[in-house]
Structures are given as C-alpha cells and as structure tokens.
A and B are shown apart, each in its own frame.
Chain A
Amino acid sequence: MITITINGKEIKLEKPVTVLEAAKSAGIKIPTLCSHEQLEKYGGCRLCLVEVEKIPRLQTACTLMVADGMVIKTETEQIADVRRGILEFLLINHPLDCPYCDKAGECELQDLVVKYGPATSRFKEKKRKVPGGLEDPILVRNMERCIVCTRCVRMCEGVQGASAIAVINRGGHSHIEPFSGGRFDCEYCGNCVSVCPVGSIMSRLHRHSYRPWQLMSETETICPYCGVGCTLVVQVRDDIIKRVVPRIGTPVNNGLLCSRGRFGYEFVGSKERLTTPLIKKNGMLEQATWEEAISLVAKRLGEIKDNFGSSAMGGIASPRCTNEDNYVFQKFMRVVLETNNIDSTARTGFAGAQGFIENIFGQGATANIIPGLSNSDAVFIIGGDPTAINPILGLQIRACSRGGGNILTIGHIKGLEKFNPVVLKPEFYSETVLLEGIVSALKNKKGLPGSNQKLEAKVKGINTAVEEIGEKCGITEEDFTKFIEILSESSTPSIVIGKEIAQSSGGSYKLLLISAINYLMNARIYLLSERANEQGLLDMGCAPDLLPGYRTLTFAEFRKRYETAWKVSLPEKTGLSIFEMIDAAKNGSLKAVYIMGENPVFNLPNSKAVEEALKNIDFIVVQDIFLTETGKLADVVLPALSWSEKDGTFTNMERRIQRLRKAVNREGMEDWMIIAEISKNMGAKFNYSEAEDVFKEIARVSPLYRDMTYEEIEKGDAIYPYKGEPLRGVTEEIQVHNPPEPPLSKGGLRGIAAGKLYLRLERPLFHSGTLSRKAPALVNIYPEAVARISLATAKSLSLKAGDIVKVSTKIGSLELPVEIDKKVDSSAIMLSNNFEDKGAFSLMEYTIDPVIKAPCLDGNEAKIEKVK
C-alpha cells in the first residue's frame, strides 16, 4: 500500500501509478494537454507541473510515479503562475481562429485557457506560419493550431501501429506531417483525430457543418461493417449523422475505430436510398404504395406455394440485418412459407468453418475475447489479413507483437509486415502440404494428448517430412524449423483464421489441419468475420439445417421444441444452401426467392451465372436500402430502414450480443416489421410492435439466448457463454474433403502456379461488400477497383502502375488500372469484389466443398494484358 498526500488529502493506492492518475482517483483535477490515457507517457506540454515536497524542481504529474509518503501540492500560487505561463506560451503562436474552428466547444486548449489562462496577450510579433500543401480528402490538417503535443503521433505509432505521421522539423517549426507528404497515405482510422486536443487534425466529413454544442443527440450503437462489433457514438443534428466517434471504455474497441466505422456512415443519408416500394410492371420497376407491394408479395408467394409447393421457395437472410430481423425472417420462411430453404452469404465461408470447428471442439470454440489476443505470446495467422478484414482485431495482434509476442503468418500479411512477423510463404496452392507439415512437426514435438479421439483418429496418419515441404512449398528447412520452434514453445497461442481457408481447395481438410494445430497447441481460435452480424444470423437459425440456437433441424426433439413454441408443424427436410438455391434456380425448380438485405448477384462468385439463374425465377422479392444489382432483377423491391434508423441487436464474432440503437428518424419499416406485415397478409400472427418484442421471443424460444433481455445487454454481460445452453461436445463424425493434390508444374518443385497467373480475391481495408460504395468518404480514399500484381509480373508484361489492363478468365473479363505491389505473390492477380461492374466475382468460378459447403475459389486462371 502506498500512501501519498495531495493538497492535504491522504490517498491510498494499491499499486504505483502516476501522480496524475492518483489525483484523478481522488477527484483532484490537474490540467493536462499532452497526456492521454490511451497513449504512452510524454511529459511535453508541462501543463501538469505540480509541487512535490523534497524535490526542488517542479514535476509533471503525468510522468511522475507516486512513492510512499510523497506530499504533493497542485493548487499553489506558483502552480497557478506556471499554468498561466504555459498556456500563454501555447497561445502566442496559436491563430485563435476559434470562431470558425470546428473544434471550438470541445477544444481542450480553449477550455483550459478559459479556466487557467492569461487574460491578455503580451506577444507583439507576427505569429508563425506553417507551410501549406496539406490537402487531403478526409483528414483536414491545420498546423497553425497544432500545439505539438504528439498525441496523434503516439496514437498512430503506438496504438494504431500505422506509423504514418511524425513531427517534422525542430523547435518552433515542429508540426505534424504524414510520411507521404501533404496527403495521407495511411489507414485512415481517424484515431489521431480522436486524440487531437485542438482543431489541428479533423475530419473533413463534417467540416463547418455544425458546432459541437448544436448536436441534437448522441447515440451509442454498433458499427454496421464487420464482425468485430465496435461500439460507435453517432452524433446527429437534424436527423443527419454528423460524426461518428468511439468512446473509451467500450468492451471491444475501447476508444478506437477503423476507417469504415469512423468514416463509412454517410450511406445512411445517401440520396440513392430507396424511398418507396417498387413493383416491376412491363419489365420496369415502378414506384408503388406499401399496401400494393405487400399484398402483391403475399398473393404471389401464396400462389407459388400452392402451385409448386414450399420447396420451390427460398430465402436469403442478411449479415447486415439485426438478430431481430433475421429471426423473424427465418421464422417467416419456416412457419409461413414452410420451407427450410434459407441461407445467407455466411455460407461463403464463415458458417461452414465455424460449424466444422465447433463440431470438433464444441460450440463456442471460436468465441474468444478479442482483446485477449494481445495477451497471447504467439498469434498464428492464416487465410487473410486481419488488419484489413477486422481492423480492430488486427490492432490487438499488433499490440501482441509490441508486447513481445510472436507473430507467425502463413503467407505475406501486409498489415503485419512492420510487426516482426515470422513468415512462411508457401508456393501457390501448396498450403495443405505446409499445414500437414506443421501438424506432423507439432505431433513429434508434443505428442497427441489423447483427449479428443475423433480428431486424433483423423490426424494420426499425417506424416509430412521437412523435405517434402521444401520440395512442394519452397520453404527452407531452416525457416520451417524456426517457425515450429516459436509456435511450439508458445504457451498462450491464438490462431486467427481468415475466410480464404474455407474458400480454397480442400477447405475442410485445411480446417481439420488447423484444428489439429489448435488441439496440439491448446490455442484459442479467432474466425475472421467480414459482416457485422454474420454470427448473429447463424445464431438466429438462418441456415438450411439449423434452427435458432444451432438446434439441428433433423433432430425431432429439437424440432418439437420450436413446433411447440411457434404452434405449427415444421418442415423436416434440410433446406437448400445458398448455392443449391442458385442451382435450383438455374434448373427451374426454385420459383420464388425472398432476399433480405443481401446482394447475391454481386456477392456470390460467378456472379453472372447467379444473375442468369435468378432471372429464371418467377418471383423475386428484394428488401434493401439501395437498389442493388439484385434489386434490379426483383419483381418487388421493398425499402427497409437502415442501420442507425432502427433498434435491435448484433452478435459479434466473440458472440457478444450488443445493442444497436436508433439514432436517426426516418419514415419506413424495419426489416422484421415488413416481414411481419407480409406474414399477417398471409394469415400468420406475427405480433410484434417493437424490436424488443422480437428479442423477448428469441430469449424465450432459443436455448442459446435464454432469459436474455435488452437490460442485461445494456449492462454488457451478454457475452458467450451467457445463461443460455450451448451445445457442447461433438455431435457428428468429422468429415473432410481432401481433393487430390494439384499436379506439380514441369519445373518440378514450384507448385502448380509456375508460369500461370491466378485471380485471387483482395479484401481491402476501406471497403466492405457493396455498402461502402455508398459511403463517399471510403470511396474517396479508395476510389476504384484495381488489379494488383507483383513486380515480376509487371516486368514480364512491361506494365507500369496506372496502366489500364484487361483481366480475363474463362468466364469473362474486366478492364481496370493496374497497381504493382512487391509483396504480392508472383502468380496472383489480386482483385477486390466491391466496385460496380468491376467485381472479382464476375470472373471467378467455383466448386463447392461438400463438407463445409463453401465455394472454393482456387485455380481461376487469368490473363492480364495491357489495353492502354
């Protein structure tokens, strides 16, 4: 116990903290500027100087650690003078342009000057000027206002890990500059904006459009983009979102955001939002009233059900919609349309991978706390760049590295390259051999523990020698051994798995191998999730084989429970997966499809074929906030309320259930309400008056969410395992699909790729599906689709950055600019699937892994040629 005295008040402390923290804990305010609770100590501004008995020099409270018996004074004449003096120094060169500075009203300098500052100016000379050329589409810098507290730099370097900015020059010429020069070339997380105490780095999105004190409301909600589920504070004026900020203390993101969460909100207010229902008449979508649209949908769905039966109907749910929406959606499909043909784009990887892993380790095996990553002593990453897919999770991996943990990656991971990764880079499509090698090596080192016989039976026979890895993967023994050494010596490892694993050849077999690594290492698994409510949608039963709470449909007992709850009898047959629905559409057996908040024509591979298949369908309903590629094919389009316009819950990848709150008023209906209306029209009783009613039903019927309430979620306790009953233990045999190894190329050792180019999917930090297209800021940062190729490819084809190229595969071609990236695999052409008419999926064929039912995108051979 440490006892100190501040201003005569005795304070007892458990552990040594700074004087500033000690004072704060006792309710004593010491003014500060450069110190910030999220950042490393600095001691630069000198505003927090205090008197400490027995130390002749004044001490900065933000850096001085308390010691037993310390006697501190913070409110003396001398200290008042010091504060006045420091603030005077800060003001002499400050432009004092508060009247048009957006920060005014929440500026720390302004507030401090009002409280402690000098009354008049004694500075007679001209103020310093900082050179211009600071133009950036997102981040507005006004360096005359900068007080060089370096909070932004410490944030960018020490927390975000982007190291994109620094103080340049010395002394009075110091100011903040991105290494890229005037314009930022950074991760655009905006976390520097959050910590700038003055108005010198700000967001252009809300520039000069409001003053902080004019905000009508602040609403805490969850980010609409990825599965991390960051808490956002949405600030609104006149029903327009003005700004999105994080809050320190929230569980997942604790005061941090990524570019999408912070700057991606403008889609809500987009002029392109759908405003009324549309009905297709003579091949044209025309505006219609809600009554017309709903009764038409009810009528047509009823007819098709009567004429072709329930199995001719399907539904696609949405990982962007709330649990409430998805619950009502699957209930509608099962109870009203009487079909289990219900699925989502989670099928493209997440659902299968999670199901596979949970079947081995029990439910919840992938539900691990994100901040826990930073406490791991090693993180093994495969199948995607976590810093782009789930950026805030990525920060935890960076923090792990900073704290001395080891980063082990399979393949080059761009966002982690500055974090001392130990990288194994297998030749194209030789990952399976490498994983077998890792499993073999770990088995030799650690021995099989004997606790999971089913898994052991599957991996016992695997025995891949180091030589084989050298031969097939092009990895040296030395590199491999070093990697294994680090991995095997770790005592608290984590494994991060990206979707590319599920979307590659032998996806289920690779998942088995990764599971084996997890088992041998006693690790924790993190399954990257690209959409905000991918997890929740599965929890809600939007799957052809599972009822809410992952209750297997084919188990009569489970079915019975829901039949009792819903007072109906349920279809017994497992439904069609999303890909099977596309096949059924192609062969004409699917007659109607209801698509809620999803754009399969763009978001499924071989998208042209998907489009053709959907055109075969008699009746398509699309419920969305924009008129998407899929919407254009619909017979009825129903406009839904969007994120921030409705209440509900999301479940993130940690299985944390969080509240989504309405922040903006807009006329219209939530997704669940539209479906409930249609159900009513079809004679079913879906009586919910608000989202909470739906949630109450979920908590009543789904054993996974038992007794959960909005109140409890509010408290932050709603995280797996909560009061509900997960399914534990292995329920089914482990099945894997391990297609024959791809043949070696002529050169022998170099994997199948030698001499050929393959199209691969890029997952950019700044985009997410098709939603981010409607967020102008994100489009501004990353405006168009590009093909990224290696230096070697560029050289051999004499391509320069910016050249327009034609990328073609068997099924189509696209023209777009090329970008050269040294770190890209020499046999890859990287292309994203975000931009209209330029999606990688339009060029990608797939086969389905029979176990995890995910599309394998490997082996899409592509050509690239210069157009101009």
Chain B
Amino acid sequence: MEKVLLKNTENPNSADINEYKKVGGYQSLPKAFGMQPKEIIEEVKKSGLRGRGGAGFPAAMKWTFASADPKSPKYLLCNADEGEPGTFKDRQILEKNPHLLIEGMVISGYAIGTEYGFIYLRGEYPAAKDILNRAIKQAYDSGFLGDNILGKGVKFQLAVHQGAGAYICGEETALIESLEGDKGQPRIKPPFPVNVGVFAKPTVINNVETLSNLPYIIEVGGEVYSKIGSPECPGPKLYCVSGHVEKPGVYELPMGTTLREIIYTHCGGIKNGKKLKAVIPGGISTPVLPPDNIDCKMDFVNMPKHGSMLGSGAVIVMDETVCLVRVCYRALKFFEHESCGKCTPCREGTEWLRKILGRIENGEGAEGDIDLMLSVSSNMLGKTFCPLGDGAASVVQNFVRHFRPEFEEHVKNAKCRFK
C-alpha cells in the first residue's frame, strides 16, 4: 500500500513545509476550497472514515451535527493527547508530518464552518510542540493559515495548547475543561461537544490520525479511499507495536490487517524466537487476548467479535517470560494514578484493585482475593462516569478471564515465579 499518513517520513526534513509541498502537500486545499463544505462532508461520508482516537465514531456524522448547530463560533479541536499506554502513532504524524495534520485541519475547519482550531497536545511531547509551532508558523507565512487562506477569503486560526500530563484529558470533554483552564474532568453528556463544547460552542474533536486522512480523501475522493482495507471501516491505519517483537514501531497498513500479519510479517515475529503469551491489541484499556486470537482483523468491526477492541491500534506484545499478574498490576497502578477522582467507583475501585493485585503479585494474596477482584471490578464496570473506569475494571476482568491459573498460582505458591 502506498503510504498516506507517513508519506515521505523517512526524509529527515519531512516536517518542513517545502519538503511537504515537494511530495504534493497542500494540493488538496485548493481543491477543497473549490467544493462546497457540504460536498466535503459528503465525500468524507463516502470515504467511510471513522475516528482513530479509539471509539471509531464516523467522522462525517460528527461534522454534520456540528455544522447543523446554529451557534457560533464553532471550534475544531485536534486531540493530540495520545495518553493511552502503548500508543505512539500520533507522535509520528506530529513530529514527522505536521503539515499533513494542518492541511487536514484547515479542510475540516472549512467543511464544518469554523475559523478556530486548537491542537491539544500531550504534555510529555515537548519536541512535537516545537515542531508543530514551527510548522504552524510556516503555514501562516505561506498563507495556508490566517484570515485569507490561498487568497480565497477562507479563515482559519490554529494554535497549540499543551496539556499538563493527565491521561483523562484525552477524553474529549475533559480535554475541553482543560482547554478552558479548568481541572481536567469529564463533563456530563448530553449535551455533546458537537452542540455544547469548548466555551459552550459547537465543537468537533477528532484525533490527529483522523484529521490527517483529509488531504488524501480530498485528493483521491471518498470512493477510492473507501476501497482501502476493511470495507466497514476503510482507510490506512497506523499500528504502533511495542513489546517483545523483533521490530517494534509504527506501521501504516490497511485497516483490518490481522494481528498475525502485523506481528510476524511486519514486526519480524517474537523477539529471540520466544513464545507469544498475550497481546493487548489497542492500548492498555482494550481487553488482552491469548495467542489463539491473533488471526483476527484489526479493525473496529472485527476486534469486538474476538472480545477485544481496536482502540488506538497500540499493539502490546508479551512473550512467555512476562508475568501477567504484574502487567495487570502495572495497568491498575496506571489507572489508579490517572483516575480523575470524579466518580466513586473509579476513584476508589482502581485503588482497591491495585492494592489487591499488589498483594497477589507480592505473594501475599489470600484465598478469595481473585473473586474479590472480580467482584470489585464488576461493581465498577458500567457504573463509572467515563470509560476510564470501565477500562480499568475490564483489564482485571479480562486478565483473570484468560489467565486465571496464573493468578491462582501466585496465591497458592505465595510468590511470583517470574521474579
């Protein structure tokens, strides 16, 4: 497959506007401005583009809602918080191909009818911040941003806002709170951001990768785009693979590539020829899978059939040397640390689960602890305010579901054999 999102990124200067233009950059902009905003949304609808931030929500639908809201101004927010453990795909675009994102945002902004865009950037991405700011300046200087883009009278202002390092600020409403200067905690929905978002105005929030597809969709048309990868959710997809593979990294592949192909064909298989023990396919919040599931297609439609989710496409590969109790413990430690504290089950449950897991991992687990964990996590699941708490609970449930004997062994032997 021809690279769309990571095009030209092997070029060390790919972030520069001239290098971007050399490979056809900013060519979709004039084409987009020649279309009616509605036509662009129609094209995106045809393309079948679904959000790459984790939930897979159809992009065109969000845009239609926001553009139909009479309130103004509207806002376009790019979610570059990339906080899901295991995920580093957006970073590739931000650092290597920032103009692709900028071009995508200008097109989206034009389509939705907004003049204001923000990139909400993960606090721990200082390099990306500099690169983005440089790119934004270049785009302003070249007339791709500002009050009269391409001399066509189109306006779009873009700025970077850096987060302070909270995972929850990747959740769209917490992101909005944070952008407004408040503590990052999710808001009640409805109303949804498309109607009442940042500064109480209609707001579209899309992931970096989602927005970066726009120039290509305009270039080749929705029809052509929709032929890439899985028919139900087409397009190129960035898979970022970490853990025990020979060649970890970010791979741009057609949506729906199987886990097996990703791990064995593209990443060179399990490191040092060890045995595969488990895969977390879409970031730590997605359910862990035992090896017998690796023929599943990595997309929004097929992953749920195997009891997991595509999530952010962050594949974490674990070989036979890994203690899964410890992984589960580390995950809960993460969730405990990142729980915003707004709702009871997540605030208290993550801490409790982490404590039980710590006990088991340290060989201090008691008879009944595993069931206690299942009970505590089921008291969380479906009861939390936002998906973070659900994610935490489901990690425990899925690790136990697939690897219960390993937990039982820890309790029975009162020690961890991987230490």
Contact = CB atoms under 8 A, between A and B. Distances in A.
Contacts of A122: 372
Interface in B338-360: 338-352, 355
A123 B349 CA distance: 11
A125 B355 contact: yes
Q: Which of B183, B188, B344 has the most CB of A within 10 A?
A: B344
Nearest to A90: B344
Interface in B183-215: 183, 188
B56 interface: no
Given A41-B188, A170-B166, A46 B339 contact: no
A148 B347 contact: yes
A167 B183 contact: yes
Contact of A172 (B188, B341, B379, B383): B341
Given A46-B384, A49-B383, A122-B372, A172 B348 contact: yes
A167 B345 CA distance: 17
A50 to B, nearest CB: 12
Interface string B324-345: 0000000000001111111111
The number of chain A residues touching the other chain, given as a range, is 35 or more
Nearest to A89: B348
A43 interface: yes
Given A85-B379, A125-B355, A174 B347 contact: yes
The number of chain B residues touching the other chain, given as a range, is 20 to 34
Given A44-B343, A86-B344, A172 B382 contact: no
A63 B183 contact: no
B385 interface: yes
A172 to B, nearest CB: 5
A232 B166 CA distance: 44
A169 B188 contact: no
A840 B351 CA distance: 57
Contact of B351 (A166, A167, A171): A171
Contacts of A173: 341
A298 interface: no
Contacts of A167: 183, 341
Contact of B379 (A42, A45, A88, A171): A88
Contact of B383 (A63, A85, A128): A85
Contacts, number: 87
B344 A46 contact: yes
A148 B341 contact: yes
A48 to B, nearest CB: 11
Contacts of A85: 345, 379, 383
Contacts of B379: 81-82, 85-86, 88-89
Q: Which of B338, B343, B366, B372 has the most CB of A within 10 A?
A: B343
A169 B349 contact: no
A125 B341 CA distance: 19
B183 A44 contact: no
Contacts of B183: 166-167
Contacts of A49: 383
Contacts of B343: 43-46
Given A88-B379, A125-B355, A171 B338 contact: yes
B348 A90 contact: yes
B345 A46 contact: yes
A172 B347 contact: yes
A647 B79 CA distance: 64
A89 B341 contact: no
Interface string A661-694: 0000000000000000000000000000000000
Contact of A58 (B337, B340, B383): B383
A453 to B, nearest CB: 47
Interface in A82-137: 82, 85-86, 88-90, 92-93, 122-125, 128
A49 B389 CA distance: 16
Q: Which of B351, B382, B383 has the most CB of A within 10 A?
A: B383
A57 interface: yes
A727 to B, nearest CB: 48
Interface string A159-175: 00000001101111110
Contacts of A128: 351
Given A41-B188, A86-B383, A123-B352, A171 B336 contact: yes
Q: Which of A44, A57, A125, A174 has the most CB of B within 10 A?
A: A44
B331 to A, nearest CB: 15
A590 interface: no
Contacts of A41: 188
B352 A171 contact: no
B341 A169 contact: yes
Nearest to A125: B355
Contacts of B351: 93, 128, 171-172
Given A49-B383, A85-B383, A92 B341 contact: no
Q: Which of B342, B345, B348, B382 has the most CB of A within 10 A?
A: B348
Given A89-B348, A167-B183, A172 B385 contact: no
A125 B357 CA distance: 12
A285 B343 CA distance: 64
Contact of A46 (B188, B337, B383): B383
Contact of A170 (B339, B348, B352): B339
Nearest to A168: B183
Q: Which of A81, A82, A171 has the most CB of B within 10 A?
A: A171
Contacts of A81: 379
Nearest to B340: A170
Contacts of A90: 344, 348
Contacts of A92: 348, 352
A90 B352 CA distance: 11
A283 to B, nearest CB: 66
Contacts of B383: 46, 49, 58, 82, 85-86
Contacts of B352: 89, 92, 123, 125
A43 B348 contact: no
Contacts of A43: 188, 343, 385
A147 interface: yes
A76 to B, nearest CB: 14
A84 to B, nearest CB: 8
A639 to B, nearest CB: 54
A147 B348 CA distance: 10
A865 B337 CA distance: 55
Nearest to A172: B351
9 contacts: A45-B344, A82-B383, A86-B383, A89-B349, A89-B352, A125-B355, A128-B351, A170-B337, A171-B340
Given A89-B349, A171-B347, 12 more contacts: A43-B385, A46-B344, A46-B383, A46-B384, A47-B344, A89-B352, A123-B352, A125-B352, A128-B351, A147-B344, A170-B339, A170-B340
The 3 A-B residue pairs with the shortest CB-CB distance in the complex, in nearest-first order: A85-B379, A174-B341, A89-B348
Interface of B: 166, 183, 188, 336-352, 355, 366, 372, 379, 382-385
Interface of A: 41-47, 49, 57-58, 63, 81-82, 85-86, 88-90, 92-93, 122-125, 128, 147-148, 166-167, 169-174
